[in-house]
Amino acid sequence: MELSLLTALTIFVLAIFVGVEIITKVPPTLHTPLMSGSNAISGITVVGALLAMGAGLTFWTTLLGFLALIFATINVVGGFMVTNRMLGMFRRKE
């Protein structure tokens, strides 16, 4: 593919900096939704599962892709839904 090691590393390091900058601004009140929400985002590995399954090279890789797809989708759907449920509880009176 077209992503060289150096490019990948650059993206990785810069994204960590972005992450640190944003996350330090999240107030402790929202740390639990932050964890479940960021957790849902880390289910992005679902893309990898889709690609593995979609390539369908061998039975084995398709099976692995299928397993990964299920795990990752639980992660994504469960994470976003529970975060939404929690955030809905944070209300302000008046």
Query: Which of the residues 42 through 71 are near another protein (CB under 8 A)?
Result: 42-58, 60-62, 64-71
Supply the minimum distance, in Å, between the C-beta of residue 6 and another protein.
8
Supply the minimum distance, in Å, between the C-beta of residue 49 and another protein.
5
Q: Mask of contacts with another protein, 12-31, x by CB under 8 A?
A: xx-xx-xxx-xxxxxxxxxx
First to last CA, the chain: 55
